[in-house]
Structure 1
Amino acid sequence: MKINVLFLILALVAEVIGTIGGFGSSVFFVPLGNFYFDFYSVLGMTAIFHLSSNISKIFLFKKGLDKKLLLYIGVPSVLFVVIGGFLSKMVDSGALEIILGIFLVIFSLLFLIKSEIVVLPSKKNAMIGGTLSGFSAGLLGTGGAIRGLTMAAFNLEKNAFIATSAFIDFMIDFSRTFVYYDNGYIGKQELTYLPFLLVIGFVGTYLGKKILAYIPQEKFRRLSLIFILIIGLATLIQLTVEHWGQFPS
């Protein structure tokens, strides 16, 4: 099988930006991957790709881990990613992707325009965010942006933000990999790309960490929201193109 080099380059870009934004590469990787592979293949690739990128993030940013958020967001995320993964075979993903895209655009714009709005950093909000992000990750392949919006309420230092998000993401990916394999999403094609995606995961994280060192703390949250807005718009544009049958083969 011929390897698509452009797809791998875009995967590297997604990993770098995902590291800088702090919410993981899947929010870019999934929309980009859908331009080259079917939806379920992208789900399988995302899970194995994220395992490597999150291991590297945990290693590079491990000093900033927030154990309370790890519990409040991580536990419901793992539980609901399994549920979402099993449901992914039964639900029309197109409608859910549209809802996710609209949600990301509205909320990122709201926080960018009305910066004084603050989500209360409560245990309840953390658990709700973890539930939604885990379910979305299992069903759509990406839940990092929802988790990013939730974690932004706690105003973490950027290293703590990335370390905690990566550890939660690792638990999510570890769980959904088994579900996706059982669903038949990880086959010969996905395993062919595995070694390339593993390398890209580590290299992209390292490059993202280097770039992040030049970004002031006060600009970090705004930058994350801008990335989330771009993701939402990209998702809606992609679905519009697919709907009108103009997607390149």
Structure 2
Amino acid sequence: MRDISYIFLLLALVAEIVGTIGGFGSSVFFVPVANFYFDFYSVLGLTALFHLSSNLSKIFLFRKGLDKKLLINIGIPSVVFVIIGGFLSKYLDSTYLEVILGVFLVAFSLFFLIKSNIIVLPNRKNAVVGGSLSGFSAGLLGTGGAIRGLTMAAFNLEKSVFIATSAFIDFMIDFSRTFVYYQNGYLHSHDMKYVPFLFVIGLVGSYIGKKILAYIPQTKFRVISLMLILLIGLVTIGQLVVKHEVL
């Protein structure tokens, strides 16, 4: 217990609450935080395990909002590409991909914030493209929720539909990539002491996030989601700049 970082666990709780409010899960905040405490591959393994409890909580809390059509159209390509991304994570330099991800999130979130009247139709083509990019990013970098969140925010979905469907898809992604990460050797025994704490944080954080979300009107939900995605993109780019300067 003495070598457990309670500051890290507190930050994980904040990431879970904010991820629930934003509708796209905690990994987009959890991964940057965890990178300060663990090596890249440990972060991938812990994120997958943390998200399993986190998404089970959201599925239970928001289950009435599930859109089964979107679940299939986004979820299936997400699972396929998270497996591909997970295997490629052993061979590709993630730095360049993180730059592309950061720039993509900043550019598109700004576009939808400025052009707030534009709504992307939640058709099969758009859903498949968003799901594929989200799954590939999740497998390769540990986080794909921001891309999926951007896709679903563009669809302008009602908040309970947004969160429930996103959580179901996220669970499918995490369940799939956990096996890939285990095969790759990313689940380290010395990190397992954090798993029980993260499991509880996933439950508590989702519950607190749902309570806060009840006070946020639907008209503000899309803006909040896009603002958080913009912040994630800026933080991703900022982290890479700092890392480059240090090196």
Could you say which TM-score interval applies, normalised by the shorter chain? over 0.9
Letter of the 2:12 counterpart: A
1:44–1:190 contact (8 Å) kept in structure 2:
no
1:84–1:136 contact (8 Å) kept in structure 2:
yes
Counterparts of 2:138 and 2:100, CA distance in 1? 14
Counterparts of 1:150 and 1:34, CA distance in 2? 25
Moved more, 168-177 or 235-244: 235-244
Q: Which residue of structure 2 lines up, in the alignment, with residue 244 of structure 1?
A: 245
Counterparts of 2:221 and 2:112, CA distance in 1? 13
Q: Which residue of structure 2 lines up, in the alignment, with residue 172 of structure 1?
A: 173
Deviation at 1:48, TM superposition (A): 0.2
Unaligned runs of 5+ in 2: none
Q: Secondary structure at the match of 1:89?
A: coil
Moved more, 22-31 or 182-191: 182-191
Q: Which residue of structure 2 lines up, in the alignment, with residue 109 of structure 1?
A: 110
1:66–1:160 contact (8 Å) kept in structure 2:
yes
Letter of the 2:219 counterpart: E
Moved more, 75-84 or 146-155: 146-155
Counterparts of 1:154 and 1:205, CA distance in 2? 23
After TM superposition, the structure 1 = structure 2 runs for residues 89-168 of structure 1, keeping only pairs within 5 Å, are: 89-168=90-169
Q: Secondary structure at the match of 1:244?
A: helix
After TM superposition, the structure 1 = structure 2 runs for residues 12-161 of structure 1, keeping only pairs within 5 Å, are: 12-161=13-162
Counterparts of 1:214 and 1:48, CA distance in 2? 30
Deviation at 1:203, TM superposition (A): 0.6
Q: Does 1:218 align with 2:219?
A: yes
Deviation at 1:160, TM superposition (A): 1.1
Q: Which residue of structure 1 lines up, in the alignment, with residue 7 of structure 2?
A: 6
Note the alpha carbon deviations across 1:39-92, whole angstroms, 9 max, x for none: 111100100000000000000000110000000000000011000000000000
2:106–2:233 contact (8 Å) kept in structure 1:
yes
Q: Secondary structure at the match of 1:9?
A: helix
Q: How many residues align?
A: 246
Counterparts of 1:117 and 1:151, CA distance in 2? 13
Letter of the 2:88 counterpart: L
Deviation at 1:106, TM superposition (A): 0.8
1:105–1:233 contact (8 Å) kept in structure 2:
yes
Counterparts of 1:164 and 1:155, CA distance in 2? 13
Deviation at 1:113, TM superposition (A): 1.4
Counterparts of 1:161 and 1:56, CA distance in 2? 15
1:138–1:176 contact (8 Å) kept in structure 2:
yes
Q: Which residue of structure 2 lines up, in the alignment, with residue 235 of structure 1?
A: 236
Counterparts of 1:124 and 1:182, CA distance in 2? 32
Note the alpha carbon deviations across 1:167-186, whole angstroms, 9 max, x for none: 00000000000000111110
**Runs of 4+ deviating beyond 3 Å:** none
Counterparts of 1:115 and 1:42, CA distance in 2? 35
Deviation at 1:38, TM superposition (A): 1.1
TM-score of the superposition, structure 2-length normalised? 0.97
TM-score of the superposition, structure 1-length normalised? 0.96
Counterparts of 1:230 and 1:153, CA distance in 2? 17
Unaligned runs of 5+ in 1: none
Deviation at 1:235, TM superposition (A): 0.9
For the aligned residue pairs, the C-alpha RMSD in angstroms reads 1.1
1:26–1:144 contact (8 Å) kept in structure 2:
yes
Q: Equivalent pairs: percent with the same residue? A: 74
